[in-house]
Amino acid sequence: MWPRGILRDMSDDLAPPFRLCRVRVPRAALRDASGFRFDGDAFAPADLVVDENGILGRLVPSDVESACEWIAFPPLVEPHTHIDKAFLRARAPNLTHDFQGARAAIEQDRAGGWTHADAQARMQRALKLAYSHGVSALRTHIDSQPDRLRPCWEVWRELRAEWQGRIELQAVVSLGSAKLHGAHGEVLGRLAADHGALLGPVFYVDGDLAANVARTFELAERFGLDVDAHIDENSHGHAEGLRAVLDQLDRRPFRGRVTLSHLCSLSRCEPSEIEALARRMAAHGIAVIALPVANLHLQDRDRAGAPYWRGVTAVSALARADVDVAVGGDNSQDMFVPWGALDPLAVLRDAMLAAQLDQPLGDAVARVAALAARVIGVDGGWLRAGRPADLTLYAAADPCGALSGDFARRVTLRGGRVVAERRVAIAS
């Protein structure tokens, strides 16, 4: 049975039409927060009415005098993942547990030959998990070395058609930036344009970094592509990749969107340097995707004993400079990250600890919802009347407790209908 906070007009199964009474909603999920009474977590009680068509017909402050029994989160966004590598951990373990070990493991596994069926099964599993966790939009990077365009891009094309209307999918052509030179760069530019994908160079600090950055933007301009780069995923402390990108944009007017993922080494710069770089980023409209789980796991493993530094970018400092910063999950159960289930709320919980994101939780939700949607250029992450009733419900009184596992039920709704449900037995 459903708790009394849900009033049904049909059967015992939750299905439209119905009303959710006194449900706590985060401030970051509301376009118009006027009239709502927010608590210290930036959540407010609200009444939600879902009509017979599964549309959120009404969302208003609640005047019901009773305790909130449910917490409602908006549709979620995964701005950075790698579903082409998902679930390879057991098959290709990372023997050294560091970044180089992960690269060696993926190369060894690929040498055996990825089949269409293998890639399809793993990528499909990833999308099913994301969907069950309330993800409405997802951007994945797909390895695109000269000998690796198949089968993952073939599978991607099939899955994008299959999942249309359920998850808004984006893909990024991903490879080391040095390999964008020559004929393969032209091939990838055309591939990205044909698939509606982004150009995703991985900028390493060795080699001719300036030339690689220039080539990236040359291709992006020629083929009309946005850019989402892996950059400064290291502990050098100089943010060389970021500086090279900013210098290039200073010289070259670029009309596309630029997103930079990782930016670990930025956190090793002096505060005054971070502020100056952040101002330049804001001036160019650069967005950032922080990936704290992967970076915590992989960074600073080159010395004996416990790690001395954790590779999380300067989220708060960037945000203060009006740089949009979303939070992504990165890899899932592969050689780079041995866990993960494409659950943005779980990633948010970890990010708030790792990046020392200040409370309240109800505002931080934006980094995996409305703000994350803006970073990847989609319209999502909101709870608002007139849109499909897509939300995730926790049967819990406390939002932080819910994300800590202290909930009786977690229910994912799409169009007002249950698509996934998880129950947790809590001892009295």
Alpha carbon 286 to chain centroid, angstroms: 16
| pLDDT-derived band at 303, boundaries 50, 70, 90 | low
CB 173, CB 200: distance < 8 Å? yes
Does 410 have pLDDT greater than 60?
yes
- The residues of the chain that CATH labels 3.20.20.140 are 76-376
CB 243, CB 274: distance < 8 Å? no
Q: Note the maximum CA span of the chain.
A: 68
pLDDT of amino acid 2: 44
User: How many whole angstroms separate alpha carbon 309 and alpha carbon 295?
Assistant: 10
pLDDT of amino acid 10: 30
CB 344, CB 45: distance < 8 Å? no
Query: Among the listed ranges 27-41, 105-119, 382-396, which one has the minimum average pLDDT value?
Result: 105-119
Query: Among the listed ranges 10-24, 38-52, 125-139, which one has the minimum average pLDDT value?
Result: 10-24
Kindly state the tokens that stand for 71.
């917490």
Per the listing, tokens 């698509």 go with: 419
Kindly state the tokens that stand for 204.
């390493």
Query: Among the listed ranges 57-61, 100-104, 136-140, which one has the minimum average pLDDT value?
Result: 100-104
Query: Among the listed ranges 58-72, 235-249, 296-310, 357-371, which one has the minimum average pLDDT value?
Result: 296-310
Fold of 6-74+382-423: Urease, subunit C; domain 1 (2.30.40)
pLDDT of amino acid 51: 93
Report the CATH architecture of 76-376: Alpha-Beta Barrel (3.20)
- The residues of the chain that CATH labels 2.30.40.10 are 6-74+382-423
CB 85, CB 52: distance < 8 Å? no
pLDDT of amino acid 5: 46
pLDDT of amino acid 428: 54
Does 8 have pLDDT greater than 60?
no
CB 243, CB 277: distance < 8 Å? yes
Average pLDDT score over the chain? 90
pLDDT of amino acid 107: 85
- Average pLDDT rounded to a whole number, residues 12-27: 85
